[in-house]
Amino acid sequence: MAEDVAPLGLLASALAGRALAVGAAGPGEPAWTDGATVFVDPGAAPADRLRAVAVQASLVAGGSLAPDVVRPLARRPALARRYLAVEGHRALAANGDLLPPGLRPLVDHVIAALAADPPGSLAVARGPGALPDPPAAFGTLRPRALPAAADAEQAAATAAAAAGRLPDVDDDDADPDEDVGSVLTSPVGGRGALGRLLARLLRPARGPGGTGPVGAGAPARVGRSRPAGGAAAARGAPEGLDRAAAALGPRDRVYPEWDVHRRRYRPAWCTVHERTAPAGDGPAPALPGGAGLRRPLARLGTGLDRTHRRPQGDDVDLDAAVEARVAALAGVPADEAVYVESLRRRRDLAVLVLLDVSGSAGEPGPAGRTVHEHQRAAAGALTAALHDLGDRVALYAFHSQGRTAVHVTRVKGFDDRLDGRAARRLGALVPGAYTRLGAAIRHGAHVLDERGGTPRRLLLVLSDGLAYDHGYGGRYGEADARRALAEARRRGIGCLCLSVGAGTEPAALRRVFGPAAHATVPTPDRLPALIGPLVGVALGDRRAP
């Protein structure tokens, strides 16, 4: 029976990007993998076996079975099924270029777009939203089997090092530029006293152009690329790590893009580079005042805070009730404030202000000043008002030059102070290049999920609504921006899009922003009259003024 499924190992290895065997599972048992072998039911139909192998191998290729991701799934089968329902589609979509045509209908691109990576799928699975059950072809996950396989592999590497030899490496994978120091400082060959001593001696000779940091638990170096025709040196990289993504910076990410003409996603299509904005020279400019915006925003973004010793409420404060009873028995006037009341007094909102600094924002607006000046003033005023109210607020700017160069610039992060440096960064922004709006929105939603830290989140986009870049314009760009906003809203993020000082037609804004809350504001001084209801609609807050 095992011989019937063993030939599928060639397909599994091709999809996983490394050697992956296929073995026989029990009769009627769903497919699963331990990271080294995919187990499928030999009695299943050939088409079902192909689907099962494709899904499990794509999970391996996509890093979906990393120990830090699957560890929370142990002893939680319901969470594991929800994770598989999202991550299975995401991993298949990321592997779409390698899937045989007959297996591509397995991918649900709407579900795949809910997350950009395995931790994102885990966050969606932990969320409250309803998710469909994974198809039968997805098989199942066995988290306990995965750490065991990883431990066995690590034990083999340690035993080989103790025996005085390094694990075998194919000649085709060797890096001709690698020096002796990199071998001695590797986590396999440098664990002994001699290796540690030589690593300390050779450290100054290693420049910033080296092969990258070493992982904590397992080798994680990625070699430099070689000329065309040679294989990339990726020895010891984590299982399923995409080699293109491995070359990115620590805060660079790859996102899909919606192709409205083909009605499907282009996986891993746009590369977003996140950087910190340089501070301009000279004294810090004064941030626009946000005093007028505080009042309409004060009633929004508040969470329930349970307050004790209240004269009315929805629960009894036991301590206060006991004290009141004791006081009554002692003949002392008792305090009647013996309830617990839920009051909206705690701020629980995180807002990311996403400012468009593309070349179109440098054009003069109807009010005389450039659109960039209007939107920059609005961004500064909104950031200052939200900061003064105690909300977690971040300010980012973006522009693009093609799908591989979407630049998102951090002016103020969630944990940064709103001080002179942030003001100089904002004042130093100069509009230029193009507007790949969908990728910037997806990255803003990711930053909110990863660093927002509150249950309620708002993505506030300040843009003239002109979605245009190389190969990204007209109906294509408008549909991708709408889809990116819809993805963010499905993740529970409120979206508000404002066009300040621009003359963009309302119909054009509707095509770009779709059903997300959006408005055209002539000048920043009109914001106080409009911002409260708009933010309330974006957050679904019925208490909006």
**Which pLDDT value is given to residue 377?**
92
Calculate the alpha carbon distances from 288 to 100, 180, 419, 519 in Å.
56, 57, 13, 21
| Cβ 524 vs Cβ 385: under 8 Å | no
pTM higher than 0.75 for the full model?
no
| Cβ 411 vs Cβ 395: under 8 Å | yes
At 146, the pLDDT band (50, 70, 90 cuts) reads confident
Per-residue pLDDT at 520 exceeds 80: yes
* Structure-token match 């009730």, residue found: 321
| Cβ 406 vs Cβ 440: under 8 Å | yes
The closest alpha carbon to 369, from 522, 191, 202, 170, belongs to 522
Distance between CA atoms of residues 375 and 387, nearest Å? 18
Q: What percent of the chain has pLDDT over 90?
A: 37
The 8-class DSSP code of residue 256 comes to E
Burial (CB count within 10 angstroms: exposed 0-12, middle 13-18, buried 19+), residue 133 = exposed
Per-residue pLDDT at 167 exceeds 60: no
The 8-class DSSP code of residue 434 comes to B
Domain with CATH 3.40.50.410 in the chain: 348-539
* Measured CA angle at 110 (ends 108, 111), to 5 deg: 70
| Cβ 55 vs Cβ 31: under 8 Å | yes
The 8-class DSSP code of residue 432 comes to -
Distance between CA atoms of residues 304 and 71, nearest Å? 33
Question: What's the mean pLDDT in 359-383?
Answer: 88
Distance between CA atoms of residues 18 and 33, nearest Å? 14
Query: Given CA atoms 418, 422, 424, 430 in this order, what sign does their dihedral have?
Result: negative
Distance between CA atoms of residues 36 and 88, nearest Å? 18
Name the CATH architecture for the domain at 348-539: 3-Layer(aba) Sandwich (3.40)
Question: What's the mean pLDDT in 497-517?
Answer: 91
Strand-strand pairing, 37-40 and 315-316: unpaired
Mean pLDDT of the residues in the chain: 78
At 214, the pLDDT band (50, 70, 90 cuts) reads very low
Distance between CA atoms of residues 55 and 273, nearest Å? 30
**Which pLDDT value is given to residue 5?**
79
Per-residue pLDDT at 460 exceeds 90: yes
